[in-house]
Structure 1
Amino acid sequence: MSPIPKPLFFFFFFLFNYVSLSSSLSLHLPLTSLPISSTTNSHRFTTSLLSRKNPSPSSPPYNFRSRFKYSMALIISLPIGTPPQAQQMVLDTGSQLSWIQCHRKKLPPKPKTSFDPSLSSSFSTLPCSHPLCKPRIPDFTLPTSCDSNRLCHYSYFYADGTFAEGNLVKEKITFSNTEITPPLILGCATESSDDRGILGMNRGRLSFVSQAKITKFSYCIPPKSNRPGFTPTGSFYLGDNPNSKGFKYVSLLTFPERVEILVPKERVLVNVGDGIHCVGIGRSSMLGAASNIIGNVHQQNLWVEFDVTNRRVGFARADCSRIL
């Protein structure tokens, strides 16, 4: 099986047809509907925002606000388990499976926020007999197997060589005393090359959005700082955003012919240190699809809201370093 892409902070995919540079970089982005395919991974990947049913209207609405750390990834702390244990997770709208760090205590160095299953009364494991542990399960293209303890084992490999593997488990997320998710299927990584987990936010049926029946979520990414030792913070909302009255929305069902996003010129070049600046655009050849991505560099100082119920995405300019 070919490796899947390293989690990038995906927005959605476009084909560029015009670029002009003045005081801002004007990107004219035509939105094109792609056919949904159950057999082509790249089509399923690019249409994941469109291919799922809307969350049930009877699902509980979660209203959760949090700051996140921004260091070329959006790192949010979530309260997982009963009682809750704070877990550092990378917010990723391009991933399906969410996973947390569950490293064995005998394996140093242990991640800073490793989850201890023995301390949670709501933790449970998935046995080998679970349907997700069988091959060729729709929407779950990652390899699973049965380990020596008859538990469902998963392996998550990324294109840049990083990885995470462990057991599939069920666990709750506690946002408040009255807002607790049902047990969600997560990965419990006992081996990984990173010290944080992943919060999968795409529309696959195993994503956090789908399992928790999230109706909408939004984030505001601050500018990256070059100050030594300083990590900027942005804002993350689950549920209604009080700033949404000023949002401009794009429907994911009735595509307009063109959407224009103005990228300030200071977002075109990225300071990588020692006086070196690189163009903030990478190659997407590893995706296996003829696509482009609006990544987090070009989303800085923008509110971006995914209105899952109404299948639309909203935007608004903001000073993301000052908002919660």
Structure 2
Amino acid sequence: MVLDVFELSCFVASRLDGRALEARVAMAAQAASGQRALIYIHPYPPLGGQFRNNVVHELSARFDSSVGVSVAFNLRGAGASEGRTSWTGTSEQEDLRSILDILHHQLLRLHPARHSAADLRSILIQMQARGFLHDDVDIDRLDGVPLPSITSTLLCGYSYGSVISSAIAADEYPGLGVDYAHISFPYSVVWVLALQKRGWYLQRIASTVASAALAFAAGPECIGRHIPRTLFIAGTADTFTAMPAYDRWWAQLRSKALDTLNVARPELPASAAEYAVDKALTTVRVHNADHGWMRRESEVSDAIEAWWWHEPPPGEGVNDFDAEWAVVPRRYN
């Protein structure tokens, strides 16, 4: 069955300074996972990064009909968005929070300088005609586009976009259930993209993984609460970060998470600690794929689909898929 998807191209305001951010919002009428949302964050604007990137296009084509809402947007200085790229990514973090605010409030307000009241009314009439709004809704009383309730949100950051998404703490938006998919995280060149903030971004990721592992180690105590999971996808031929550098960094993240568990839960068996870290952090290596993912884009969406939509059964942890997707779960008794 072909799902009906309503797509809206618009401009929204950055909460930082009101700059107009170009966005494409998609809503699926009969999505199997109606309370899920995806936000796509593109590569570095000065190098041509914007939401019409090949990886973002692939992810959108694969997933937009399977979630309640998806948003691809241009950070300041990219595409038709106003402003310019900052030196530290701090302004771009606020651009991303502006999109998360929209999901949180379940309301998409169009940028007043880019859209008229007639634009909003036209959009609402189209939504009502296609069944995205109930017939009894008085569209003249709405000041924005209503969105469905979201309880699970995946931040899909690609390259520079993954640096920006890593800055968002999941507990800033507890109701949205934030997880992270970092595609080709530019580990070796973050210092170029964010100058003196490199250490801050890397520490934020380490803290996110360690805190999640600690929560997963709580066992029954974590039932019913969202624990943010982190996925890294990288090609073994990445042109900005060599795979040995990724491996060393990922090992450091695991080690820091295990150290956190050893200090906070010294009575925890080693197998249980390993399992908790495996739940918090997953890494995917794709053989011979480079940073651009040309003609390899589907392998990115394959990895995300296998990880976010299909969690391993209770009692099994999955980590380090290989390029042929031969997954061997670790069992802990």
TM-score by length of 1: 0.26
More strand per residue: 1
Higher RCO, 1 or 2 (CA under 8 Å, sep at least 6)?
A: 1
More helix per residue: 2
TM-score by length of 2: 0.26
